[in-house]
Amino acid sequence: MYFTTKLKKINKHSVPYRLFSHYIQLKGRITKMERLFISRKALLVSIACTLLLATVFFAGCTSSTPQTSTPAATVAATGTPKPVYTASPGNLVIFTAASLSGASTTIGSSFTAANPGTTVSFDLDGTQALKTQVENGAYADVFISASNSYTNTLLSEGYFVNGTVKKLATNYVILILPASNPANIQSLADLAKPGVKIAMEAKQVPAGTATLAVLANLANSTYNQAWENATLANVVTYETSEPAVATKVSLGEVDAGFVYQSTAAAAANGTYQSIAIPVKDNYLQTYTIGILNESINKDAAASFEQYMLSTAGQNILKEYGFMGPS
C-alpha cells in the first residue's frame, strides 16, 4: 500500500512510474503462479501419501493372518534320462525295472560266469521311463518290465521279437516304516491319522498303480472311503521309482511308504519295520521279460532270457523276495 500511494503522486507517463508499475504487476502474476504451483504440489503429495498408507494397511492385513493350508505333496521329477548305451557285440544292455536293483548285481555276475565272453549292463529305472526310452530310440537288447500294461504297449508297437515276451516273476505290495517308527504306526488304520507322512510312487509307476489299487481294495473291504481319502491326503511325495520310496523311508524322511515285498525282504535286518497287506486286498504285480527287435545280440539275449526263466535265475529272484511267475 505504501508504494502504491506514493506511485499515485508520480507522473504516470514518467519512466519510474512505468517501471514500478510493471514490477507490481509482474510480482502479482508470480505470486499467483507460485500459489497455483504450491497447491498442485500439495495435492500430488497428498495423493502419494494416501496411496502409501493404503499399501501399508493392506499389506499389514494380508500378512497378519498366518497361512494354515497343508502343503501339497511333491512330485519327483519325471524327465526320462537320455539313452547312454550303444549297440556292442557281446555286451547285453538290459532295460530293467528299478525294483530289481538289488537282484541285478547277482544276476549279472551269475549269468556272465555261466556265459564267458558276454557282459551285461543294466539300465535300471521306472518301467514307465524305460518304455519311453525305447520309444524314443534308445538301444537295448532285453526289456524287463514291472508292468503288463507297458509291455503290452511296446508289444503292440512292434518293439519285441515275436514270441519272446514271457512272464518272469510276481510281487505283492507291502507297507514299510523307518526302523524307529517315529509316527508309532501299528496298523494300516493309522495311515489316516493327521500328521502322518507317507511316500508312494506316482500313478504312472507300476508300484504306484498297484498301491492305488490296494488302497481302494482296503477301503472297500475293511475301512471306508474317508480312510482312503485321509490316507492319500497324508502322501507328501510321489516318487518316479519304487526304490526311491524305500530310500525316503530308510532315511526317516517319511513315516511310511508303499513298496514291493521283495524290497522289504531283501533289506538288511533293522532297516525297516513292515506291515503286511492281506492277500485278498493286495495287488499281484507281474514282471515280464522280452527281447527287443533292435538287438544285435539276439542269441546272447535269448540265452539271458532262458537263464532268468531257469531254476538258477528264479532262485536268485526268490532270494531277493520275488515270487515265481503265476
The yes-or-no verdict on residue 148 having pLDDT over 50 is yes
Q: What pLDDT sits at residue 163?
A: 97
* Cβ neighbours of residue 216 closer than 8 Å, sequence gap 6 or more: 228
- The ranges assigned to domains in the chain are 75-170+285-319, 173-281
**Cα 279 from chain centroid (whole Å):** 29
**SS3 of residue 268 by DSSP:** coil
Find the mean pLDDT for residues 191-198: 98
Identify the burial level of 240 via C-beta atoms within 10 angstroms of its C-beta, where 0-12 means exposed, 13-18 middle and 19 or more buried: buried
Instruction: Give the span between the Cα atoms of 196 and 184, in whole angstroms.
Output: 10
pLDDT (tens digit per residue) in 231-250:
999 999 999 999 999 999 99
The phi, psi pair for 185, rounded to 5°, reads -80, 120
The yes-or-no verdict on residue 157 having pLDDT over 70 is yes
Instruction: Kindly state the percentage of the chain with pLDDT values over 90.
Output: 72
Q: Among 283, 285, 284, 259, which Cα is nearest to 271's?
A: 259
The yes-or-no verdict on residue 24 having pLDDT over 50 is no
Q: What angle do helix axes 127-135 and 148-156 make, rounded to 10 degrees?
A: 10
Which residue blocks in 65-147 are alpha helix, DSSP H? 101-114, 127-135
- Type of residue at 193: K
- Is the pLDDT higher at 315 or at 4? 315
Q: What pLDDT sits at residue 326?
A: 75
- Is the pLDDT higher at 259 or at 74? 259
What is the rounded average pLDDT for all residues in the chain? Answer: 83
Among 5-19, 111-125, 244-258, which is the least confidently predicted range? 5-19
Q: What pLDDT sits at residue 72?
A: 57
Calculated CA dihedral for residues 8, 11, 12, 17, nearest 10 degrees: -80
The yes-or-no verdict on residue 47 having pLDDT over 60 is no
The yes-or-no verdict on residue 286 having pLDDT over 90 is yes
Q: What pLDDT sits at residue 28?
A: 47
| Domain at 173-281: CATH code | 3.40.190.10
Q: What pLDDT sits at residue 298?
A: 97
Q: What is the DSSP letter of 192?
A: G
Instruction: Give the span between the Cα atoms of 93 and 122, in whole angstroms.
Output: 6
Q: Do domains 75-170+285-319 and 173-281 have the same CATH topology?
A: yes
Find the mean pLDDT for residues 178-206: 97
At 85, list the grid cell: 548305451
Calculated CA dihedral for residues 240, 243, 248, 251, nearest 10 degrees: -150
The yes-or-no verdict on residue 261 having pLDDT over 90 is yes
Give yes or no for a contact between 251 and 157, defined as CB atoms under 8 angstroms apart: no
At 142, list the grid cell: 532285453
State which CATH number among 1.20.120.1200, 2.40.128.110, 3.40.190.10, 1.10.10.10 fits the domain covering 75-170+285-319: 3.40.190.10
Instruction: Give the span between the Cα atoms of 45 and 154, in whole angstroms.
Output: 71
Find the mean pLDDT for residues 311-318: 97
Q: What pLDDT sits at residue 19?
A: 42
**Cα 53 from chain centroid (whole Å):** 43
pLDDT (tens digit per residue) in 94-137:
999 999 999 999 999 999 999 999 999 999 999 999 999 999 99
Q: Among 287, 320, 313, which Cα is nearest to 109's?
A: 313
The yes-or-no verdict on residue 71 having pLDDT over 60 is no
Calculated CA dihedral for residues 147, 188, 183, 253, nearest 10 degrees: 10
Instruction: Give the span between the Cα atoms of 237 and 61, in whole angstroms.
Output: 33
* E runs forming strands in the chain: 74-75, 91-97, 119-125, 142-145, 166-171, 173-178, 198-201, 235-239, 256-260, 272-275, 285-291
The yes-or-no verdict on residue 174 having pLDDT over 50 is yes
Confidence of residue 83 (pLDDT cuts 50, 70, 90): low
Q: What pLDDT sits at residue 27?
A: 46
Quick one: CA dihedral 110, 292, 133, 232, positive or negative? negative
